[in-house]
Structure 1
Amino acid sequence: MGKDDYDVIVVGAGSMGMAAGYYLSRQGAKTLLIDAFDPPHTNGSHHGETRIIRHAYGEGREYVPLAIRSQTLWNELQEEADEIIFKKTGVLGFGPDGSDFIDEAIASSKEYSLPLDLLDAAEINERWPGIQLPDGYKGCFEPESGVLYSENCIRAYRHLAEKNGGSIVPNAPVKNIKADKDSVSIETDDETYIGKKVIISAGAWNKDVLANLNLDIPLQPTRQTTTWFDSDPSLYEADVFPAFFVDTPSGVYYGFPSFDSSGLKIGRFDIGEKTEAAYMNREYGIYPEDEGHVRKFLETYMPQAAGDLKQGRTCIFTRTPDEHFVVDLHPNHSNIAIAAGFSGHGFKFASVIGEILSQLALDGQTEHDISKFSITRPALQQNE
């Protein structure tokens, strides 16, 4: 395949981009994926083994149809892939009475008739002895949700995209993008590639890439950490303990049961050091807070999980001001689709976002409602 005869070029083959490449190649489009690294890798937002998928959604019930479609697509990928994609652990959410996040998750489950068990603190403590909640807390348990094996997902999409005839150029940072009415050229250090359509999904590097197209979106990368703790398998192994998300007065946390004695994994959602992605310090433990925040949470709510540190990882969130995604066509170039700003809760949607991006690239529109993710919404115009 020559460098100048692609139907669609995907710039950034991480979570959303690799999924888009799969759906494009499956439809017979001549597809090229270009990435600054060699996915799956540890420089972006998809590593660290696991991600939660929830359907009853505390971030807004508008996400629920996309979450349901995502689950369907992940299940389809599981049938086609040689990798383990999804494990149904159930997902538990809890917080104090009056938590807007928990209330919205409950409301979204009712609106879409999703299975959800409503529990008080005593019921949670009894059902999962590894949790110790005080009075005045409540929770909800979603039995059909669970955990995605994120790196396996990327690996499976890549393998299948290549099997379908797609091509990938790894370790090739994009230096410049030039668009005209009928084509877009993508320049790397070694080559210039030309495609009829382009998808830009460069994660924490999106701001720099989009600057080539005179587009300034307020995207802020933040340094995030996740930590694995030695924990009692009788209490925290995946066959007896769920994935979880927690809204507490001191912060918002999320975590995973122990898989094959790997240890309970936990991260904090609502903080993160602002950074430029290329200069982010990826060494875990350079700040006491890397371990300290999550250990304090465990000591308060899951004390028997606060064992020895097993490992820690660093990754990147890229946040928008309202923490909703950007999925849209470029305002001035209808042959360029953009996926950006997934704000730490996007991976679960990678399958459906990939489907959406393939539709935008090939048809100029999508069957899914993405109005909430408009590139021209007021929240993205605040710095003008």
Structure 2
Amino acid sequence: MSGPIYDVIIVGAGSMGMSAGYHLARRGVKTLLIDAFDPPHTEGSHHGEPRLIRHAYSGDPAYIDLALRAQTLWEEAEAESGTELLVRSGVLNLADTSVYSFSGRLHEAEQRKVRVERLAAEEINRRWPGLTVPDRFEAMYEPDAGYLYSERCITAYRQLALAHGAKLLVNTPVLDVTATEGGVTVHTKDGDFHGASVILSAGAWFQSLSPFINLPIRAVRKVVGWFQSTPAFDAGTFPGFTLGTTEGGFYGFPSIGGAGLKIGRHDTGLTWKPGEPLLPFGSEDSDEGDLRRVLDKYMPGAAGRLLKGAVCKYEHSPDEDFIIDRHPLHNHVLLAGGFSGHGFKFSSVVGEVLADLATDGRSRHEIKPFSLSRFDT
């Protein structure tokens, strides 16, 4: 093998990979991105537009710090690309108190100066008259949060990465990766590519990189639907939302440009493996049924006819926390996966983290909670 041609090769140019490519290229790092499709595309987790961005996060406090940095980076990407990527709609987190309490998140938000409001059911129903939540519900409203146009985000980072000198190979599936002390080789149907280091950000397709790396990631099929809704749910009037109920955990968005209220279910999902067909929306009775059930109960004005349905993929880690680390055997192989359906909002800062690790050997951000070694036991 000849010497490395690229400083960093990125396998998987979806949300995390494309962001990393941008951050590396703008630092003058010779970067090659390789994707099995042509991003943005419908074979990963980033299509179907908007994704929530919120800051008063559950789990490790590192998430809040990363979410705040992510929003700053999205704002910078907006300015550099000249494209609207972020809408500050506010995010209304609703929960049945018999299922979930916001106390921990409210405490962490206060510690980190994140603006939040705690609301009782009466106030919720008054401020957003399209809702009909019972007295046992409460909410945590984040006025500075909102949603991202996910496909625009991918496109913006793609254009910016290329403008800064990155190279991108599309429709190029990776067949294998090999690593030696001298570098890495990425084997594709169109030939081999050599680099000093590699970032693997293959999303739900990580199993296709076995046996070079075996991460504890389970890919699942997820569905979302857009439903005809009254003006009470229009963008500019209604915020993004999450909904924790006895029926399950849901999330969604206002009707943008008349598209209808968008809603998806965060929990459950059918296991999927690379190479298997992804069943279209409507293949399971629960695809529409689960969504309509909660709309009928809590958002009846948004329970109109189904306007559109779509399917995508989650890539769950066992604890639903991210995996951002180095390969156990190869220090110059970086791993970014297991984003478990809540990662897109962080992709701007995850790209920065990966660029830090690739160029400086360490990140300015706290990423210990995302180490692969936590699964050793």
- When normalised by structure 2's length, the TM-score is 0.97
Alpha-carbon deviation of 1:123?
A: 0.1
Aligned to 2:171: 171
SS of structure 1 residue aligned to 2:102: helix
Aligned mate of 2:228, from 222, 227, 230: 230
The structure-2 alpha-carbon separation of the partners of 1:280 and 1:56, relative to structure 1 and needing over 3 Å to count, comes to farther
Conserved 8 A contact 1:32-1:166: yes
Q: How does 1:272-287 map to 2 (within 5 A)?
A: 272-287=269-284
**Equivalent-residue separation in structure 1 for 2:34 and 2:169 (angstroms):** 5
Aligned to 1:37: 37
Q: How does 1:1-384 map to 2 (within 5 A)?
A: 4-97=4-97, 99-100=99-100, 102-209=102-209, 211-213=210-212, 215-233=213-231, 235-377=232-374, 380-381=375-376
**Equivalent-residue separation in structure 1 for 2:138 and 2:352 (angstroms):** 36
**Equivalent-residue separation in structure 2 for 1:103 and 1:277 (angstroms):** 39
Amino acid at match of 2:323: V
Query: Which deviates the most, 294-303 or 56-65?
Result: 56-65
**Equivalent-residue separation in structure 1 for 2:61 and 2:364 (angstroms):** 18
Conserved 8 A contact 1:61-1:105: no
The structure-2 alpha-carbon separation of the partners of 1:236 and 1:88, relative to structure 1 and needing over 3 Å to count, comes to same
The structure-2 alpha-carbon separation of the partners of 1:101 and 1:150, relative to structure 1 and needing over 3 Å to count, comes to farther
Query: Which deviates the most, 45-54 or 270-279?
Result: 270-279
Q: CA RMSD in A?
A: 1.4
Amino acid at match of 1:160: L
Alpha-carbon deviation of 1:97?
A: 2.2
Conserved 8 A contact 1:329-1:360: no
**Equivalent-residue separation in structure 2 for 1:195 and 1:202 (angstroms):** 17
**Equivalent-residue separation in structure 1 for 2:101 and 2:48 (angstroms):** 25
Percentage of pairs with the same residue? 45
Conserved 8 A contact 1:246-1:253: yes
Structure 2: where are the runs of 5+ without partners?
none
SS of structure 2 residue aligned to 1:279: coil
Structure 1: where are the runs of 5+ without partners?
none
**Equivalent-residue separation in structure 2 for 1:65 and 1:98 (angstroms):** 29
Query: Which deviates the most, 78-87 or 259-268?
Result: 78-87
SS of structure 2 residue aligned to 1:175: strand
The structure-2 alpha-carbon separation of the partners of 1:101 and 1:66, relative to structure 1 and needing over 3 Å to count, comes to farther
Give the total of aligned pairs.
376
Deviation string 1:294-349 (CA, Å, 9 cap, x unpaired) is 10000010011000100011000000110000001112111111001000000000
